[in-house]
Structure 1
Amino acid sequence: MTGYADDLALAHRLADAADAISAARFRALDLRVESKPDLTPVSDADTAVERAIRALLAEHRPDDGLLGEEYGATPAAGTRQWVVDPIDGTKNFVRGVPIWATLIALLEDGRPVAGLVSAPALGRRWWAARGTGAYAGPDASRGEPIRVSGVTELADASLCYSSLGGWEDAGRLEPVLQLMRDTWRSRAYGDFYGYMLLAEGALDVMIEPELSLWDVAALVPIVTEAGGTFTDLAGRPAPAGAENSAVASNGVLHPDILHRLGQPAAR
């Protein structure tokens, strides 16, 4: 048994509570949506999900810290911190696109050691903890092991990316466009979903120029426990800071991807 088995079990309970709220509000005619100071949307589902998760963590892990996208940080008594994005893909959620999920991560000393992604509109979850491998399925009782692909050549690879506007803002649009030309296929599935498809072996590379900690923390254990590599653009293990870039791959392709995006591979 893993040392994080109880934490993963709790993460599934948190996801059950989150799914019950978010699924009921998805495509609701009375859904309330406001703009945050950074002009990104927040719905009543985002805030309700985070409140529910906070209440459960206060009950079951009162000594652990918590960072949530909507309500910020609460301090920890030790080195453990939960990181929660109540709805990753809020823009999809408010437009009725089913690609959105609740992201739940556990960090120890700032490093992700367990992660869970629950996408109720897709009927699927992904989860992993350090040293246990990665799994996907409808729920905890029906999970199957997942593994990244064995693709070895960029010309055979399927690439996923975030918006091209974000890459243009980061000053890296041309390297990304060339990477798209050099791969077999490129698509922008958005938010968490590209990383989970990577972990399942359905695609081979996922790149994103900027993310917050709550966007990335839950994804890292799932990708790496599935056999992949997850770094920032400089090759440092993710998450590297408060505002993170992301390069995730099946591992084999990683040095080539970093080189093509203008940074040397980590040594």
Structure 2
Amino acid sequence: MDQDDIFATAAAMADAARRATLPLFRSADLRPDNKLTTGFDPVTRADREAEQAMRAVLAQRRPDDAIMGEEFGDTPGTSGLTWVLDPIDGTRAFISGAPSWGTLIGLMDASGPVYGMIDQPFTGERFEGGLGRGRLVSALGERALGVRRGVALAQATLLSTFPEIGTAQEYDGFRRVSDSVRLTRYGLDCYAYALLSIGQVDLVIEAGLHSYDVAGPIAVVQAAGGVVTDWQGGPAHHGGQIVAAATPELHAQALALLQGEAGRLESATLYPIEREGS
């Protein structure tokens, strides 16, 4: 595994996606299509053109790798590595003009994600983690990723994309966690995981996701020192139910509440706030 080539390829894909998405963001010419016959799941020209641009980079630089993309499906490979692409995670935010969407790039081997990137073109922020790298690059320079530690559940901040999360049973589990934390906020899509990776929030809980929604963010959060699993504590890179936490302690408490085992929770204690690597 040529790490330098992987880093350079991911950067080239993110740059190509920026060139496709930014001219259409907040554009009057953007007209979303609906993937569903019932409900609303938008897709835009920007989604399609950005994924095509990323696939073109891979075809030139790493043609032996497999691809899993939201808009154009799976392409087989022979290297044992799979790039997982979501050209615009948060298309609803994109068409609303809100800068909480992002381009997701993940790289998986047989064990799961080994590298990931969350790129926000409008703010110029690039969160990158895995293969020995964990950094945020922005107009302010470069800084190391690092989750926030020492926060009790009762003082934690929780993010999720939709307030009406999942099924009725999933919603009940989520509400148990939400009722136990200090602050719950909604609607940030992949940017929630980016904020977790730099110590701004403490928990992200979602349901009904796909691999392309989470492969990149998992690698970023893990590189920052966080924990990401499904609601049963197992691997999360296949999608479905996701719980990402800054610390093992918060993760265990969130799992207990999600599973309806509130009695396992220890009394909340406030500790001095620290950040991984600080």
Q: TM-score, normalised by structure 1?
A: 0.91
Following superposition, the deviation at residue 181 of structure 1 comes to 2.1
Distance 1:253 1:133 in 2: 24
How many Å separate the matches in 2 of 1:44 and 1:209?
26
Query: What amino acid maps onto 1:178 in structure 2?
Result: R
Contact 1:35–1:41 (Cα < 8 Å) also in 2: yes
2: CA distance, partners of 1:263 / 1:121: 40
Aligned 8 A contact 2:193 2:217 in 1: yes
- Report the AA paired with residue 254 of structure 2: I
Residue of 235, 238, 257 corresponding to 1:237: 235
Q: Hey, what's the Cα distance between the residues in 1 that align with 2:158 and 2:235? A: 20
Checking the alignment, whether the CA contact within 8 Å between 1:85 and 1:102 is kept in structure 2 is yes
1:159 corresponds to 2:158: yes
Alignment check: 8 A CA contact 1:17 1:52 kept? yes
- Structure 1 segment 24-103 matched on structure 2, within 5 A: 24-37=23-36, 39-103=40-104
In the alignment, is the contact (CA less than 8 A) between 1:105 and 1:217 conserved in 2?
yes
Give the CA deviation at 1:64. Answer: 0.5
The answer for the alignment partner of 2:224 in structure 1 is 226
Q: Relative to structure 1, is the Cα distance of residues 95 and 254 closer, same or farther in structure 2, using a 3 angstrom cutoff?
A: same
Q: Does 1:138 align with 2:155?
A: no
Q: Does 1:246 align with 2:245?
A: no
Q: The residue matched to 2:241 in structure 1 has which SS?
A: strand
What one-letter code is carried by the residue in structure 2 that aligns with 1:99? S
Deviations 1:94-128 (A, max 9, x none): 11111111101111115111101110112211001
Partners in 1 of 2:225 and 2:53 — Cα distance?
32
Contact 2:101–2:188 (Cα < 8 Å) also in 1 = no
8 A contact 1:234–1:263 mirrored in 2: no
Distance 1:113 1:218 in 2: 9
> Contact 2:176–2:258 (CA<8 Å) still a contact in 1?
no
Contact 1:84–1:105, Cα closer than 8 Å, also in 2: yes
Q: Distance in 1 between matches of 2:149 and 2:221?
A: 14
Change (3 A) 1:206 1:4: same
Whole-angstrom CA distance in 2 between matches of 1:162 and 1:120? 20
Are the equivalent residues in 2 in contact too, given 1:100–1:121 (CA < 8 A)?
Answer: no
Q: CA RMSD in A?
A: 2.0
Q: CA deviation at 1:133?
A: 4.2
Q: Which runs of 5+ in 1 are unaligned?
A: none
Mind listing any 5+ residue stretches in structure 2 that lack a counterpart?
Answer: 265-278
Counterpart-to-counterpart distance in 1, 2:4 and 2:115 = 9
**Distance (whole Å) between structure 2 residues aligned to residue 219 and residue 40 of structure 1:** 21
Indicate if the aligned counterparts of 1:170 and 1:209 stay in contact, CA closer than 8 A: no
**Residues 41-61 of structure 1, C-alpha deviation per residue, up to 9 Å, x if partnerless?**
110000000111111100100
Contact kept in structure 1, 2:229 and 2:242, CA below 8 Å: yes
Please tell me whether the aligned partners of residues 104 and 119 of structure 2 are also in contact (alpha carbons under 8 angstroms): yes
The offset of 1:174, in angstroms, is 2.7
Matched residue, 2:209: 211
Specify the code of the residue in structure 1 equivalent to 2:58.
L
In structure 2, relative to structure 1, the CA distance for the partners of 1:110 and 1:76 (3 Å cut) is farther
State the aligned residue count: 259
Partner Cα distance (1:53, 1:155) in 2: 42
Q: How much identity, in percent, do the aligned residues show?
A: 35
1:165 aligns to what SS in structure 2? coil
2 CA distance for matches of 1:214 and 1:196? 16
Displacement of 1:170 in angstroms is 4.8
